[in-house]
Amino acid sequence: MADFNQILTPGDVENGIVNVVVEIPQGSNHKIEWNRELAVMQLDRVEPAIFAKPTNYGFIPQTLDEDGDELDALIITDQPLTTGIFMEAKVIGVLEFVDDDEVDDKVIVVPADDRNTGDAINSLEDLPPQLLKQIEHHFNHYKDMKKPGSTVVKGFGDVERAKQIIRDSITRWNEQA
């Protein structure tokens, strides 16, 4: 199997378009992660059903967040996406997040070509406030049954903040290569 990180680039970050590989479909409580060493998707664990993902979840190739993993992406669509696919996505913001005292930010994206919404989502302000509350609640509490208080949402950032986090993650990737 080909390694996504060797083939896919991060995308056109300056113009706000990134490549994203889907790991977890929206609504799933399976924690599926890209295993960089084996170049396969791996089921890491099964979370309690009450902590199913509120959005699709994936990563931007050729990036490393401060926690040493690929930079995460929350993918907003009206239906779950399939594990292993990649897509071009429009950056609309970022969830600034700390997990076990490590920065673990999540870039928030939508499909770059979404004819269902008419490409009307361009920033976090275009999302329903309730969805942002659900995302924040999920990430503040999804580890509560195992390790309460180990996750903290620091807040949401705009498109420019998200792009800076992506650029920093690309730099970290290139420095380790």
Which residue positions form the known binding site? 31, 45, 57, 67, 72, 104, 142
Q: Are 109 and 18 in contact (CB under 8 A)?
A: yes
Rounded CA-CA distance 17/32 in Å is 24
DSSP code per residue over 72-119 = EEEE--SSPPPTT-EEEEEEEEEEEEEETTEE--EEEEEESS-TTTTT
- Which residues belong to the annotated binding site for substrate? 31, 45, 57, 142
Rounded CA-CA distance 141/151 in Å is 7
Query: Three-state DSSP class for 26?
Result: coil
